[in-house]
Homo-oligomer: A and B are copies of this chain.
Amino acid sequence: NNNNKINSDMKQALTIDQAMQNPQALAALQDKIDNVSHSASIMDSLPKSVKRRVNALKNLQVNSTHIEAKFYKEVHELERKYSALYQPLFDKRRNIVSGEVEPTDEECEWQSDHEDEAALAEDLKKKAAIEEKTEDANEEKPKGIPEFWLTIFRSVDMLSDMLQEHDEPILKHLQDIKVIFSGPDQPMSFTLEFHFEPNEYFTNTVLTKVYKMKSEPDAEDPFSFEGPEIIDCEGCEIDWHKGKDVTVKTIKKKQKHKGRGTARVITKQVPNDSFFNFFNPIKVSPDKELDEDSEYTLATDFEIGHFFRERIIPRAVLYFTGEALEDDENEEDEDDEEEGDSKVSVDLDHYLN
């Protein structure tokens, strides 16, 4: 619902002049005008005495948004508490993925509970059986679950869109992704930690991305408050080994000497597409307006951060096997059919870490 919330917040920062040159902002402005006229028309049809009372209700409603903000802060605290409860499971996952720990037979027992599904899968298994045996014959014992996180990156659209061929060998060294919540007395935020085993690309063992959140109604527009939202993010410096930085590429350029007319070749470093640009996001600053492209890039970045936190980290194995992917796709289809904003069952949204 709200991935465009960022957009709309940014739009508020645009001046009317700028808005006129920006189709998206123009549409948002139109919405505002429609909104005002709709609201105005109802309010204006009311006798003064009734209009007064409606304004009193609107003031009560503003009070409500402040209670709501407190509620969301408590939910954030609950999330912190639960993050400690999930952690032992996530640690175990990391140890199994890296091969540090070999799970017991009991821990590996898995039965498809749906008998019909099992039957359906049986056929496929038979077909795959030959393949499996040859692999066993090769007898190169794999350690842990090779390419666990890379497989997830490849299969989740939002991530594979960013993934470049040169990123893949690096992401093979990714061993864990964690989310850390801000403490009770800090401004609300969460940090994604990408833990790497020692590798030939960079010296960092952890790459971080902090997402700063806001859970306060906007004084200018209190009724748009719908809970915490991401307002900014911060990456980290990657200490690339010499010649290994995939976020830049070297291009050669002929340069003519103006006077003499002789040419020489110079090399120049330019930005290169890479997932690792995730750690060098666009900076939001109050003095600088973002252009439409940057706005879009940042909105996508916030969405990805949210998706790591809400879906990928808590249920990584289901993205690895593809089970969660099917769910997401089904949900997407369902979205189109949905009427209004209501949902009968709860979204995980921010409420799961």
| B residues in contact with A4, CB < 8 Å | 334, 337-338
Complex-state Cα separation, A221 to B113, whole angstroms: 8
Let me know if A347 and B226 touch, CB within 8 A.
Answer: yes
Interface residue count on the A side (C-beta < 8 Å): 139
CA distance A328 to B339 in the complex (A): 10
Q: What residues of B have a CB within 8 angstroms of the CB of A323 in the complex?
A: 35, 39, 223
Interface-facing stretch out of A47-55, A168-176, A195-203, A246-254? A47-55
A38→B326 contact, CB < 8 A: yes
Interface positions, chain A 101-156, Cβ under 8 Å from B, are 102-103, 107-110, 113-114, 116-117, 120-121, 124-125, 127-129, 131-132, 135-136, 141-142, 144-146, 151, 156
Q: State in angstroms the CA–CA spacing of A53 and B338 once bound together.
A: 38
Chain A, interface SS category: helix
A57, A61, A103, A347 interface centre (most CB from chain B within 10 Å)? A57
- A140, B198: Cα distance in complex, Å: 81
Residues of A329-353 contacting chain B, CB below 8 A: 330-332, 334-352
In Å, the complex CA distance between A63 and B92 comes to 12
Besides the contacts A44-B124, A57-B96, A58-B321, what 7 more A-B pairs have beta carbons closer than 8 Å? A41-B124, A53-B108, A64-B89, A78-B78, A311-B341, A328-B340, A351-B351
A-B contact pairs, 13 of them (CB 8 A): A2-B346, A3-B345, A16-B116, A34-B326, A44-B125, A44-B131, A50-B146, A54-B321, A229-B345, A299-B344, A303-B343, A311-B341, A311-B342
Q: Using CB atoms and an 8 Å cutoff, list the residues of chain A in contact with chain B.
A: 1-6, 16, 31-45, 47-50, 52-61, 63-64, 67-68, 70-72, 74-75, 78-79, 82, 85-86, 89, 92-93, 96-97, 102-103, 107-110, 113-114, 116-117, 120-121, 124-125, 127-129, 131-132, 135-136, 141-142, 144-146, 151, 156-158, 219-221, 223-224, 226-230, 299, 302-304, 306-307, 310-311, 314-318, 320-328, 330-332, 334-352
